[in-house]
Amino acid sequence: MKDKKHLSVSAIENGTVIDHIPAQNLFKVITILGLDRIPNQITFGTNLESKLLGKKAIVKIANKYFERDEINRIALVAPHAKLNIIRNYEVTEKMLVEVPNDIAGIVKCVNPKCITNDEKVTPKFKVVDKNGVSLKCHYCEKITDQEHMEYL
């Protein structure tokens, strides 16, 4: 039997479905992937029940496929996100987001006195907590947590 979610997933002919986004981070995912700046047809649902996340969001983007690096950019706000690649109404591939060990050029360092906020230096971080996702700056050694993440 097909459940409701499955039906909505099947509703696009070609494209990508991103599932298991924490509801409160939906708009961050949209911004990070630049979905607010593309002409593609996009539908999303939010505040859906989720055993894993409490409330989750789901986004469906028609005629759009993502590269691995692009997708890992959302690892910081949606570490458990799952992607379904749809071709001709069929899920042809599934991808999980991977939280990388190192991150460069995606997030700003929270420390205003950091060299990365003072001169043209690409911010680099070590991921010190993969579940809550917090980042230790390679340069100033300060921690940038979820709450203070600002995207480049």
Partner 1 sequence: MKNKSLVSINDLSKDEIFRVLDLAEEFERNPIQRIMEGKVVATLFFEPSTRTSLSFESAVNKLGGRVIGFSETSTSSVSKGETLKDTILTVANYSDLIVMRHPIEGSARYASEVSPVPIVNAGDGANQHPTQTLLDLYSIRKTQGKLDNLKIVMVGDLKYGRTVHSLLMAMSQFNASFTFISPAELRMPQEYKMYLDELGLKYEEHTDLAENIKDADIVYMTRVQRERFSDPMEYEKVKNAYILRNGMLEGTKPNMRVLHPLPRVNEINTDVDESPKAYYFTQALNGVYTRMAIMALILGLKK
Query: Which residue of 108, 140, 146, 148 would you call a contact of Zn ion, by CB under 5 A?
Result: 140
Task: Yes or no: say if 44 and 21 are a contact pair by the CB < 8 Å rule.
Answer: no
- Whether the CA torsion 76, 48, 33, 64 is positive or negative: it is positive
Tokens representing 57 are: 């969001």
Please tell me whether residue 143 binds partner 1 under the rule CB under 8 A. Answer: yes
Query: Which residue of 114, 133, 135, 149 would you call a contact of partner 1, by CB under 8 A?
Result: 114
Least separation in angstroms between residue 48's CB and partner 1 is 35
Going by C-alpha positions, the residue among 107, 80, 101, 67 that lies closest to residue 18 is 80
Least separation in angstroms between residue 117's CB and partner 1 is 9
Nearer residue to partner 1 within complex by CB, 63 or 111:
111
Altogether, the residues listed in the chain come to a count of 152
Instruction: Specify which residues 90 forms β-bridges with.
Output: 87
Name which of Zn ion, partner 1, none residue 138 binds, using a CB cut-off of 5 to 8 Å depending on partner kind: partner 1
Instruction: Specify which residues 27 forms β-bridges with.
Output: none
Please tell me whether residue 11 binds partner 1 under the rule CB under 8 A. Answer: no
Going by C-alpha positions, the residue among 82, 36, 90, 87 that lies closest to residue 65 is 87
Tokens representing 45 are: 């649902």
Q: What are phi and psi of 109, to 5 degrees?
A: -75, 140
Please tell me whether residue 128 binds partner 1 under the rule CB under 8 A. Answer: no
Name which of Zn ion, partner 1, none residue 120 binds, using a CB cut-off of 5 to 8 Å depending on partner kind: partner 1
Please tell me whether residue 138 binds partner 1 under the rule CB under 8 A. Answer: yes
Nearer residue to Zn ion within complex by CB, 9 or 110:
110
Binding site for partner 1 (CB under 8 A): 109, 111, 113-116, 118-121, 137-143
